[in-house]
Structures are given as structure tokens and as C-alpha cells.
Amino acid sequence: MSVNPDRPAEITPEELAAQTALYAPFTQAVRELVDATIRTTVDPATIRTAQAEVEAITARLREEQLEGSLGAHFGHGRARQPWGNTVVGLRNPVAPPLRPVPAGDREGEVHAEVVLGAAYEGPPGLVHGGVSSLLLDQILGTAAAAAGKPGMTAYLNLTYRRPTPLGPLRVEGWVDRSEGHKTWARGHVVGPDGPTVEAEGLFVLPRWARELLARRGDAEAPPAFE
Ligand SMILES: CCCCC/C=C\C/C=C\C/C=C\C/C=C\CCCC(=O)SCCNC(=O)CCNC(=O)[C@H](O)C(C)(C)COP(=O)(O)OP(=O)(O)OC[C@H]1O[C@@H](n2cnc3c(N)ncnc32)[C@H](O)[C@@H]1OP(=O)(O)O
């Protein structure tokens, strides 16, 4: 399949399923590698052998690669696949990944269950505050988009109520209110003992996007979900 960042390719639902079946397990295998890299206690010789093997795999993958980042190269209908996204990207092993789904009955409400392991540690045994912020930025932005009011983060205010333990967590976001191209969203990270981090943010459909949509005579926002 040809890849052109300026003109995302339209692919069939079957091809999308085939790509998902190919890349999701591959990316998960690399996530496991990251976790194993952090937690392994094998002997130094085994580490050196593993390093050579990883370097050989990296060289094989680099035989053919994109010039830049993945972007939103292809999709089905108007939905683009943000497979490089650092939070939800199907092809990004850095992404936990978060899988937001519509839930609850507030406007644009989305929830995601996620398990954060050793790769997301800040204080010992706890989630890094920047990682909580990362998840909340994404889930609030997704809530705005799910309500048909997508935008870029203009500000994001966080309140860290109590430490967030590594392990299973839920992340929730919803739209609080909106005025034209500005949408205020709220959300929180929920741990085993309740909410740990609360967020409130403003999402703005940028001027360039407003002008683009006006030129197209297209009032409809890009879809948030396939
Ligand atoms: C057809 C294409 C559509 C593209 C839509 C864009 C993306 C959404 C698409 C799908 C989304 C799906 C899921 C999203 C999931 C996660 C989201 C991740 C979010 C991010 O990770 S995103 C990266 C971090 N984010 C940035 O990198 C933003 C950098 N920044 C800018 O790009 C500009 O700064 C921007 C766009 C914010 C404003 O730019 P602009 O050109 O529209 O500016 P303008 O002056 O017209 O402001 C318009 C009105 O917002 C008010 N306003 C602006 N900033 C404010 C602030 N801080 N506090 C209070 N009010 C503020 C003004 O006061 C004015 O208010 P008013 O209209 O009432 O006068």
C-alpha cells in the first residue's frame, strides 16, 4: 500500500482489519520487550546477546521506512487512523495503549480501561504525573471530538488528588460545555481507591480548520470513532 501523508489512502474495511491483525500483535510484542528490558535480572552476557539481537531486528525494520512520523496516512471513509499517536496509536509501542469507548450519559462521554506497567513509573510504584496528564489530554480531546466538537488543547489544568498506583486504571472524559469552536471538557483517572487525578481543559477548533471547513461548506466535524 502506498503511503502519502498529504492524501491519506482510502482502504477497505477488510484491508483495515488485515492491517490491524498484522500490526497490533507486533506492537504489543515490542511493548513486552520494553517491560522485559526494565524488569529483567538476567546475567550480563545475556544482556549483551539480547542487545545484539535487538539491534539486528531494528536494522531489518529500517531497510524500508517512512521519512517522518506515521501521521494519519490512511483510513476508511472520513475516519483516519492515528496509528502513530503516543496514547492510542495501534502501531506505537510507547502508547499504553488507551482504547476510549463511548460510555456513560454525559455529552461526549468516553471511558478507557488501561493497565500501566513499569514503563510508566514516576515515583516508585506510582504513575508519573506527566503520564496521567498525557492520558487525560487524550481522553478529554476524544470526548470533545465524540461530541462533534474536535479541537486542539488550548489549556489543560490538572489536580493530583492522591498518588496513582501502577496497575489497572480507568480514564474518563466528558464535555462540560461548549461555545462555537471552544469546548471545555473534564475528566479523571480512577484507581482502585477512586479518582486520583482530575482534569479540566479547553479544546479549540483552530482558525485554520475553521477556515478550511468554511471553504468546504462543511459544518460536520471529523468523526472521533471508526
Ligand atoms: C478538518 C480538520 C480539523 C482539525 C481538528 C483538530 C484536531 C481534532 C481532530 C480529531 C480529534 C480526535 C481526538 C483528539 C484526541 C486528543 C487530542 C490531543 C490534543 C493534543 O495533544 S493537541 C496538541 C497540543 N495543543 C497544541 O499544540 C495547541 C497549540 N495552540 C494552537 O494551535 C492555538 O493556540 C489554538 C488552536 C489553541 C487556538 O488557535 P486559533 O488560531 O484558533 O486562535 P484564536 O485566537 O482564533 O482562538 C480561538 C479562541 O480560543 C481562545 N483561546 C485560545 N487559547 C486559549 C487559552 N489558552 N485559554 C483561553 N482561551 C483560549 C481565544 O481567546 C479565542 O476565543 P474567541 O474565539 O471566543 O475570541
Q: Do residues 133 and 191 share a domain?
A: yes
The angle at the Cα of 108, spanning 106 to 113, to the nearest 5 degrees, equals: 90
* Cβ–ligand 1 contact at 150 (below 6 Å): yes
Same domain? 55 vs 150:
no
**Atom 4, ligand 1: residue with shortest CA distance:** 209
Q: Which pLDDT score is estimated for 220?
A: 59
Q: How many residues does the chain have?
A: 226
Nearest CA to ligand 1 atom 17: 141
Answer whether 138 contacts ligand 1 (Cβ < 6 A): yes
Which CATH number covers residue 193?
A: 3.10.129.10
Q: Do 103 and 175 belong to one domain?
A: yes
pLDDT at position 79: 57
Residue 206 shares a structural domain with residue 114: yes
pTM of the model: 0.91
* pLDDT at residue 39, as a whole number: 98
109 and 211 inside one domain: yes
Domain enclosing residue 137, as ranges? 98-216
Note the pLDDT of residue 225.
47
Radius of gyration of the chain (CA): 19
139 CA to middle of ligand 1, Å? 16
Half-sphere exposure of 189 (CA within 13 A, CB side): 32
pLDDT attached to residue 80: 66
Rounded to whole angstroms, how far apart are CA atoms 39 and 56? 22
Residue 88 near ligand 1, beta carbon < 6 Å: no
Q: Which pLDDT does position 152 carry in this prediction?
A: 97
Q: Does residue 223 lie within any of the structural domains?
A: no
CA of 183 to the centre of ligand 1 (A): 9
Q: How far apart are CA 109 and CA 146, in angstroms?
A: 8
ipTM above 0.90, yes or no: yes
Give CA–CA dist 90/84, Å, rounded.
7
Question: Residue 104: inside a domain, yes or no?
Answer: yes
> How far, in Å, is the centroid of ligand 1 from the Cα of 30?
33
Verify whether ligand 1 is closer than 6 Å to residue 89 (CB atom): no
Exposure b/e, 70-89, CB count within 10 A at least 16 = b: bbebbbbeeebbbbbbebbb
Q: Give all strands (DSSP E) within 61-210, no chain letters.
A: 74-76, 79-80, 101-102, 110-116, 152-160, 167-179, 182-191, 194-204
The answer to whether position 224 is within a domain reads: no
Nearest Cα residue to atom 44 of ligand 1? 207
Q: Which phi and psi (to 5°) does residue 44 adopt?
A: -55, -40
Q: How many domains does the chain have?
A: 2
Centroid of ligand 1 to alpha carbon of 206 (angstroms): 5
Instruction: State whether the beta carbon of 60 lies less than 6 angstroms from ligand 1.
Output: no
Give 23 Cα–ligand 1 centroid separation in angstroms: 31
pLDDT per residue of the chain (226 residues) written in tens, 0 to 9 = 444 445 556 778 898 899 999 999 999 999 999 999 999 999 999 999 999 999 999 999 999 999 888 886 655 555 567 899 999 999 999 999 999 999 999 999 999 999 999 999 999 999 999 999 999 999 999 999 999 999 999 999 999 999 999 999 999 999 999 999 999 999 999 999 999 999 999 999 999 999 998 888 866 555 554 3
Q: Is 43 in the same domain as 128? A: no
Q: Are residues 53 and 104 in the same domain?
A: no
Assess if residue 221 is contained within a domain.
no
State residue 183's pLDDT score: 98
pLDDT for res 1: 41
Predicted confidence at residue 3, as pLDDT, reads 47
Q: Distance between CA 63 and CA 1 in Å, rounded?
A: 17
Whether 147 and 201 map to the same domain: the answer is: yes
Residue-level pLDDT at 4:
47
DSSP structural state of residue 119 = G
